[in-house]
Amino acid sequence: MGIRLAISGNWPAAGAWLIGALFIPTFALAMGTWSGSSKLFEVVYLLLWYIGPLNQTRPLDFMGAVPAAVKSGVPLVWLAATVALGVAGVAGRKRQLAGR
């Protein structure tokens, strides 16, 4: 999908797709390291995906599925969340390793 968007020249949508592709594993890492289980990620991600991209709720569209969300800059908010979750995930993993 990302390659198709890039080839068609739809760079904002391709960027939003890339941010979504980075958000999902980063979110999983942060939720897993801080909760100690995959269950929190599974529940929250399912709800987020259902309400956001699937039902086209603009502020929760982390994948760029809603063109209006891409045009209004919503993916940049998700990029900031991805960076914050990445920092939290790495910090949580360091905390886990220090406790061993």
Would you say 20 and 64 are in contact if contact means Cβ atoms under 8 Å apart? yes
**DSSP assigned state of 59:** G
Distances (CA, A) of 67 to 14, 22, 35, 56: 11, 19, 34, 10
Would you say 40 and 92 are in contact if contact means Cβ atoms under 8 Å apart? no
Return left, alpha or beta for 39; rule: phi > 0 is left, psi -120 to 50 is alpha, else beta: alpha
Note the pLDDT tens digit of each residue in 26-64: 999 999 999 999 999 999 999 999 999 999 999 999 998
Would the pTM count as exceeding 0.95? no
Q: What is the mean pLDDT of residues 61-85?
A: 94
Instruction: Give the number of other Cβ atoms within 10 Å of residue 61's Cβ.
Output: 26
